[in-house]
Amino acid sequence: MQKYLAEPDVTRMVFDVVRAQTLSEALEQLSSWRFDAILADLMLPDSSGLETFQVLQRKASGVAILVTTSVGDERAAMEAMRSGAQDFILKGSPDFRMLKRAIRYAVERKAALEQRDQVIRAAADGMVVIDATGIVRLVNPAAERMFLPASLLGRSFPYPIRLDETGIIEIPRPPQPPTLVEMRVSPMSWNLEPASLACLRDVGEVRRFDEMKTEVAQRRHADRMKDEWVAKISHELRTPLTIIKGAVTELAEGAAAPLRPDQMTLVGMAQHQVKRVERLILSLLELSRLESGATPLVRGRLDPAEVVHMTVSALQHAAAQRAVILTSQVTQSVGPIDADADLFEQLVMNLVDNALRFARSRVRVRLARGTPSGIELSVEDDGIGIPADKQGLLFSKYAQIDRPRGPEGYKGTGLGLAICKEIVALHHGVIKVESAPGRGTAFHVLLPELAEEPSEAGRPEPAHAAGGSL
């Protein structure tokens, strides 16, 4: 053997050979050195047959092992091949002349197999190699975790193997419910024998995700049904409410008979409540109209500065009644927007109405260029502010923050900001709140500008001042 290894040939390989006379000597050498290949005679003074190979394989699992046997002892060599030996060479046969080449191929093959095993071990999915007799030959860590606490290695695989089919298996996990695992089995070869590779994926998470998706869809459906129902009832209430309103107004105007002061107080209370219900119904219908998208927007070129100016003028009286100074400030470069004029006006109205209700002394409406583009409408007050933990809820329907009622006993419907959010979304914009409790609140609306050059004409003044103060 030494002779063949020393002979120069095309492989130009040079070997460092360490000889061991017995298996125990070989094991000692394997503990001290790292070898590329082992050329093992299966018949040794202290070990014989397949066992020699198995002991060596356990000791040096990553090293290529080639076995040599004498004529008549080939069976053990064949079994060694099935168990993972890289090659076998009959002593005295012409194969010995090819020894260098055989070793080289064996080392390369072993390295490739080691890489394959590494990939299997590192895979996130579970992988199990099952030989032709149904015995598990390799289990990667992901599969081991699925079958814990039992170990499958060396045991018969406990599920039916159907090649090229995907199925769900249930791995018992008492006292918890079983783990659901998707299994796909593909044919492969393992140590030159046909085998199967079972790929396993825990689908419990996927199932739970699907269930959650269904639950969300059901909730959305229920929400939609509720919204439709609320819209229908609101619509139905409009006619009776108009009749009640008419009757109460007539009573208040003394159409039936002049009222005594105590009767007048009662009728006044009824009028106040009718107005409140009317406002609620109108808001509900408006929100439902916006959410459903049933009524198309009447969009067009709109000068936001003009709307701000008009709205602020219209609310000056309300501001004065509350002793609040209401001002507006418009930056010259703010261009036109593509918007529904009624809805934009309602947006400004809702925000200023809120601000006036909570301001201590002043409310400022500002219109400026947005960052990085578009326009920015800001409504700022110096009122009680909104606690940080409540700010997330503000734009949801019916959200109201527990507060003492306003000076006129006003209790809002909690729909104003939800309507604002819808209006802004329909115009592809964003609405944000900034607030410091005790110091004030600012709502900022960012809207895209109309895609054209803003005209210089029609904006002669740098700023509009309403109420004489800026």
Ligand X SMILES: Nc1ncnc2c1ncn2[C@@H]1O[C@H](COP(=O)(O)OP(=O)(O)OP(=O)(O)O)[C@@H](O)[C@H]1O
Q: Using CB under 5 A, list all residues that contact Mg ion.
A: 354, 412, 416
In the complex, least distance from residue 396 CB atom to ligand X, rounded to whole angstroms: 9
Q: Is 414 in the site for ligand X (CB under 6 A)?
A: yes
Compose the 437-456 pattern: x for residues touching ligand X by CB under 6 A, - for all others: ----x---------------
Which regions of 251-370 does DSSP assign to beta strands (E)? 299-302, 325-330, 337-340, 362-369
- Smallest separation, CB 412 to ligand X (Å): 2
| Residue 32: half-sphere exposure toward Cβ, Cα within 13 Å | 7
CB of 272 to ligand X, least distance (A): 14
Min dist. Cβ of residue 270 to ligand X (A) = 20
Task: Kindly report the length of the chain.
Answer: 470
Q: Which is closer to ligand X, CB of 23 or CB of 415?
A: 415
Q: Is 281 in the site for ligand X (CB under 6 A)?
A: no
- Nearest to ligand X of 196, 413 (CB atom): 413
As measured in angstroms, the least distance from the Cβ of 422 to Mg ion is 14
In angstroms, the CA 453 to CA 34 distance is: 77
Among 386, 431, 446, 447, contact with ligand X (rule: CB under 6 A):
386
Strands (E), 143-295: 166-173, 176-190, 193-202
Name which of ligand X, Mg ion, none residue 311 binds, using a CB cut-off of 5 to 8 Å depending on partner kind. Answer: none
DSSP state of 260: P
Window 303-362: residues binding ligand X (CB under 6 A):
350, 354-355, 358
Work out whether 142 is an interface residue with ligand X (CB under 6 A): no
Cβ at position 391, least distance to Mg ion in Å: 15
Beta bridge partners of 47: 44
Say which entry of Mg ion, ligand X, none residue 231 contacts (CB below 5 to 8 A, set by partner kind): none
- The residue among 179 and 413 lying less far from Mg ion, judged by its C-beta, is 413
In our burial notation (b when 16+ CB lie closer than 10 A, e otherwise), range 263-297 reads: eeeebeebbeebeeebebbebbbbbbebbeeeeee
Q: 106 vs 417, which CB is nearer to ligand X?
A: 417
Which CB, 328 or 354, lies closer to Mg ion?
354
SS3 286: helix
Beta carbons within 10 angstroms of residue 243's beta carbon: 10
Residue identified by tokens 């049904």 is: 225
CB nearer to Mg ion: give 335 or 412.
Answer: 412
How far is the C-alpha of 342 from the C-alpha of 339, rounded, in Å? 9
| Residue 84 φ/ψ region, left for φ over 0, alpha for ψ in the -120 to 50 degree band, beta for the rest | left
CA nearest to 358, candidates 284, 418, 436: 436
Between 179 and 350, name the residue whose CB sits nearer to ligand X.
350
Q: Residue with CB nearest Mg ion?
A: 416
Residue of 143, 290, 394, 431 interacting with ligand X (CB under 6 A)? 394
Residue 370 binding target from Mg ion, ligand X, none, CB below 5 to 8 Å by type: none
Q: Is 48 in the site for ligand X (CB under 6 A)?
A: no
Distance CA 65, CA 50 (A): 12
**Nearest Cα residue to 131 out of 161, 88, 168:** 161
Do residues 462 and 332 make contact, with C-beta atoms less than 8 angstroms apart?
A: yes
Q: How far is the CB of 447 from ligand X (least distance, A)?
A: 19
Alpha helices in 123-203 (DSSP H): 141-147
Out of 84, 126, 383, 429, the only residue in the binding site for ligand X (CB under 6 A) is 383
Residues 6+ away with beta carbon under 8 Å from 70: 43, 90, 91, 92
Q: Are 434 and 452 in contact (CB under 8 A)?
A: no
**Residue 383 touches which of Mg ion, ligand X, none (CB < 5 to 8 A by kind)?**
ligand X
Sign of the dihedral through C-alpha 231, 236, 237, 239: positive
Span interacting with ligand X, options 89-97, 118-126, 328-336, 376-384, rule CB under 6 A: 376-384
Does 412 help bind ligand X (rule: CB under 6 A)?
yes
User: Quick check: 259 binds ligand X (CB under 6 A)?
Assistant: no
Q: Which does 355 bind (CB under 5 to 8 A by kind): Mg ion, ligand X, none?
A: ligand X
Chosen residue from 52, 179, 288, 413 binding ligand X by CB under 6 A = 413
Asked if 370 touches ligand X (CB under 6 A), the answer is: no
Interface positions with ligand X (CB under 6 A):
283, 350, 354-355, 358, 381, 383-384, 386, 394, 399-401, 403, 412-418, 441
